[in-house]
Structure 1
Amino acid sequence: MKLFFSYLQMHHKSLLLVETAALIFIAVFFLYNLPLQAVGYACLLSAVAGALIALVDFLHFRQKHFWLQKLQKQVMFGLDILPEPRTLMEKDYQDLLKSLFAYMSMQTTTYDQKHRDMLDYCTLWAHQIKTPISAMHILLQSDQSEDHDALCDSLFHMEEYVNMILSYIRLGSDSTDFVIKFCSLDRIVRSAVHKYAPLFIRQKIALHYQPISCQILTDEKWLSFVIEQVLSNSLKYTHAGSVSIYLEQPATLVIADTGIGIAPEDLPRIGQKGFTGCNGRMDKKSTGIGLYLCRCVLKKLSHTFAITSTVGKGTTVKIGLASKNLPIE
């Protein structure tokens, strides 16, 4: 019905012209005392012929409308599929679309090239910076100064940021290096904890870990990256207290800390790209990328990610490790 009214609205001037002509004929016949039956019969025949013509035209209009709706899903690949214009106005509209499409294609090509150049530069930088980082590790092994621990912490965080850049680039690429197989969750967690053990010790943060006997279908490297990011955040915002890691049945990994917590208004936006929240604005060093990458990785692995928190009491992160439709390699 909406389509029919749209058709009438598009041809309302033509309908008004026909009605005006009929009224003029009736008025002229009436003024000259001519039999009105003749003009009535002519109007009836004209109305029947007009209705048939309008019906055919409406069916063509309907077919064209549905065809254009179908083309909406294909027009992004090119405008060659557009029908031949029937009127000069349709040709003008198609020329306008072609000009816009050509401009959009040129802008997209330029953007893609700049994006590739930026990714290539960032990848090159991230790999080149690893050389001086390795050299600094070697130098710090023989360093016994008072600043040794502080330098080790700074170097550790620098290495983490470089790895985060590389992970960000890999996730945004067309191909990924996911290797899906059954893995020991206990081994993954222990590896992440071992990596952050020096920070736990230097910050005097207690770790409560219950050994986990669980095999999960996942990518070991990427899940380890997620757990490391969560541990990094826990250590960053926990100045005293503890971090607890345990398994909620059937397959939910829980990482809870006694840190400063997250403001209630920030919780719905945690994990959005670039969102740092109140804590990040106070810290002035947060980028909002870490948890965003966690959400992206877990989504690709068909895992879930949930955060609850109370300001002044701590934060609890739950990673649902149930997997759906993951091809095993």
Structure 2
Amino acid sequence: MTTSWLFIREHVSLLIFQTILVLFIFLLYWLDGFREYNTAIYSLIISILLTGGYLSGKYILRRSFYNAITRTPEKMEDALIRYAPTPEHAEMSLFMRGLYKIYQNEVQTLYASQHRQQDFMNHWIHQMKTPISVIGLLLQEDGELDRESIAEELGRIQNGLDTVLINARLETFENDMQIEKINLKQFVQEVVNEHKRLFITNGVFPVISIDENYVVATDPKWMKIVFVQFITNAVKYTFEDGKKVYLDAECHEQGIVFSVRDEGIGIPNSDLNRLTKAFFTGENGRLTGESTGMGLFIASEVCNRLGHKLKIGSEHNVGTTVTVLFENGESGETDDTEQNRRTKRSHEDL
């Protein structure tokens, strides 16, 4: 569509109104007995010239704007109109810039999510080659099958699959979230009991110091994933037998602060600010060779979306402390039914 035709279409209503107005004035003069045709023709010509001059000047001022909106766009930046001859167009330009900014943010978020998922899958597939190769070698050996080694490698595969599924579910986190009030101590005991073998195998002992009446509102399923990550890291990076992992909780004005403190190798200061970034393994991750760099990233994402503040502090060769602030936490008692249900599921402390 040409700019001139677009301009005419925009001002058709003005031309019709102007024509009706001139005819109405002529009608008034005719009814009043005025019969001077030369004056009428002169008035008509002057009206046409004035209207034409006004529209011509307006078209010249708006020509750049019309050129911008009638050409075929080649990129998204073409939506940002730089020519705003009128206040209305200026506001429209600001509106379009705001929409473009929202669009860019959404595209960047989707791109980052897709890129992270692709990188994680490539990393995970590469990492799964090791346990699969080990199982293949064990099956080729003569003699009695080493079931313990196969179970260990299968456990690595299972953990990797769980991480992939959790990472995929993060994309639909809001649809999978269900907030409940839980007794913090019973919840932590339940998580610890489910990972007894991890503590026993590594010769590390958990010490739980949490008040019986501490209650927090959170999503139990997602927070269990977070707590498991904290415990797993605490045990994995404690290389000496007989060390302890302390699971504590304190009630402050801001809420209840839950912490997991280990006596492991600690984290170098240079790595602390990057621990929650996707795929970051750091110096400690290279020591074990099994780190995916996704555990603390997932924990950070879950805490952020649930509104719990996560903080990580560490001293090299001394230990690491991870804390979570439950701002809605309180020192109260849970519902009896819920408490009994959780007591049956977690009836002993290590």
TM-score of the two chains, using structure 2 as the length reference: 0.54
Shift of 1:301: 0.6
**Alignment pair present for 1:74 and 2:99:** yes
Q: What's the RMSD between the two structures over aligned residues?
A: 3.7
Tell me the residue number matched to 1:274. 279
Name 1:172's counterpart in structure 2. Answer: 171
- The whole-number CA distance in structure 1 between the counterparts of 2:101 and 2:270 is 39
For residues 197 and 314 of structure 1, the distance between their equivalents in structure 2, rounded to whole angstroms, comes to 21
CA–CA distance in 2 between the matches of 1:61 and 1:323? 51
In 2, Cα distance between the equivalents of 1:293 and 1:277? 16
Partner of 2:89: 64
Q: Give the equivalent residue in structure 2 for 1:38.
A: none
Deviations 1:32-56 (A, max 9, x none): xxxxxxxxxxxxxxxxxxxxx89x9
Matches within 5 A, 1:24-35: none
SS class of match (1:212):
coil
Please state how far the C-alpha of 1:152 moved relative to its aligned partner: 4.2
Q: Which residue of 2 aligns with 1:197?
A: 196
Displacement of 1:148 in angstroms is 5.3
Given residue 271 of structure 2, which amino acid in structure 1 is its aligned partner? D
How far apart in 2 are the matches of 1:300 and 1:289?
A: 16
Farther off after superposition, 154-163 or 266-275: 154-163
Q: What amino acid sits opposite 2:90 in the alignment? A: H
> 1:269-291 deviations in whole A, cap 9, x for unaligned?
11111111111133332111110
Change (3 A) 1:174 1:246: closer
Superposed, which structure 2 residues align to 1:3-18 within 5 Å?
A: none
Larger RCO (CA within 8 A; separation ≥ 6): 2
Distance 2:276 2:207 in 1: 25
After superposition, where does 1:1-329 map in structure 2 within 5 Å?
Answer: 60-61=85-86, 63-74=88-99, 150-173=149-172, 176-213=175-212, 214-240=214-240, 241-250=243-252, 251-323=256-328
Q: 1:148 to 1:312 in 2, by over 3 A?
A: farther
Percent identity between matched residues is: 25
* Equivalent-residue separation in structure 2 for 1:77 and 1:222 (angstroms): 29
**Contact 1:238 / 1:258 at 8 angstroms: preserved in 2?**
yes
Give how far 1:175 is off.
5.0
Contact 2:313 2:320 in 1 (8 A): yes
Contact map agreement 2:251 2:257 (CA 8 A) in 1: yes
Distance 1:191 1:272 in 2: 28
CA–CA distance in 2 between the matches of 1:158 and 1:191? 24
Cα distance in 2 for partners of 1:302, 1:262 equals 25
Q: Which blocks of at least 5 consecutive residues in structure 2 are unaligned?
A: 1-56, 62-82, 129-134, 136-143, 330-350
Shift of 1:176: 2.7
Distance apart, 1:187 and its partner CA: 2.1
Structure 1 residue 195: Cα displacement:
1.7
CA contact (8 A) 1:170 1:176 kept: no
**Contact 1:153/1:199, CA 8 A, preserved across alignment:** no
Q: What stretches of structure 1 of length at least 5 have no aligned partner?
A: 1-52, 79-100, 102-107, 130-135, 137-144, 325-329
Paired amino acid for 1:219: D
Q: Counterpart of 1:69 in structure 2: which amino acid?
A: L
Asked whether the 8 Å contact 1:302–1:323 carries over to 2, the reply is: no
Higher mean displacement: 153-162 or 270-279? 153-162
TM-score between both structures, scaled by the size of structure 1 = 0.57
| Counterpart residue type for residue 208 of structure 2 | Y
Q: Secondary structure at the match of 1:189?
A: helix
The secondary structure found in structure 2 opposite 1:72 is helix
Q: Which moved more, 1:191-200 or 1:306-315?
A: 191-200
